[in-house]
Amino acid sequence: MGQIAFWSPYSGSGQTSSIAAIAAAIGSEYHVRCLISQTKNRESSLEHSFSRSLNTFNRTLGNISGTRHVSGTGLDAVIRIARSGKLEAGAVKNNTQIIEQGRLDLLSSSDQIDHAKFETASDLIRSIFEQATRYYNLVLLDLPSGDDSELSRKLIASSDVVVICLPQSWRSLDTYFNKKIWPRTLVGKKIVLLFTQHDRHSKYKAANVTRKYKSSKGLIVPYNTTFKDAVNDGDTKSFYKANKAADRRHPNYEFVYEVQRAAKQLLDEIGIDSKAKRIDAEERGAS
């Protein structure tokens, strides 16, 4: 149904962990079929963030991002199917790993060592995710930072919404708002700002930044040490489930509240009725 691309001017923005948090919320809270994937070759940090929850019958994750062993699944497998002319929505689903049964899947990134060769498959990869939207209600893509990837430009062009991930870094903020790094395919796109690793006590907090640059208000993923530890441990799903009902006095309340707000708005942005798709409290407790 809809595709959302996450992009940042520079690496190290907290983009991948923010996607993981939002995806965990969507998978836990909504009756939607959601696919997440990382589109940088030889990069498995998104996969690692859910490693304790994944169906790993045909995959062994190393202790360090990028050291995994792949056996016939993920994006590489779907690229082979696309090249054979047999690509259909089921081909994507059949090569994913399950995070939340019936609601959240992950398509592993490519293990192609040659970046230039990987980029030559950009049209095929774009068609793969377009095909995926015929099965999934929502596809979330973690794009490489910067403007050096033709694949990223094409995926931005084919996305319904582009989420710009901005940490509280003067360099990133200045670069984005003054369009020093600006993929040409961003022109005319529906854009949502996401302030990542956010510290509300910083002078660069979201409200001050949007006021300075006369920009629309953005979403927030607060910095949270416990969450970062969970991501590093591959335990993102369990962290969310343990904290999704935290009350206002709980140290993780602000983080969960803002992640839930981001998940709801992004669903609404692509035309999914978040209120109608919300899982009721009894079912959420059982899942």
When mean pLDDT is compared across 161-165, 211-215, 245-249, 281-285, the lowest value belongs to 281-285
Q: Which fold has domain 2-286?
A: Rossmann fold (3.40.50)
pTM of the predicted protein model: 0.92
Q: How confident is the model at residue 283 (pLDDT cuts 50, 70, 90)?
A: low
Q: What is the pLDDT of residues 77-119, one digit of tens each?
A: 999 999 999 998 789 999 999 999 999 999 999 998 888 888 9
Please check whether residue 141 is in contact with residue 15, taking contact to mean a CB–CB distance below 8 angstroms.
no
Q: Which two tokens stand for residue 235?
A: 């335990």
Domain spans of the chain, in order of start: 2-286
The answer to whether residue 42 scores a pLDDT higher than 90 is no
Please check whether residue 65 is in contact with residue 11, taking contact to mean a CB–CB distance below 8 angstroms.
no
| Rounded Cα gap, residues 181 and 147, in angstroms | 7
Nearest to 79 by CA among 43, 57, 39, 110: 110
The CA–CA distances, whole Å, from 284 to 38, 45, 86, 227 equal 27, 27, 37, 20
Residue 179 is predicted with a pLDDT of: 94
Place of tokens 């709801």: 264
Residue type, 163: V
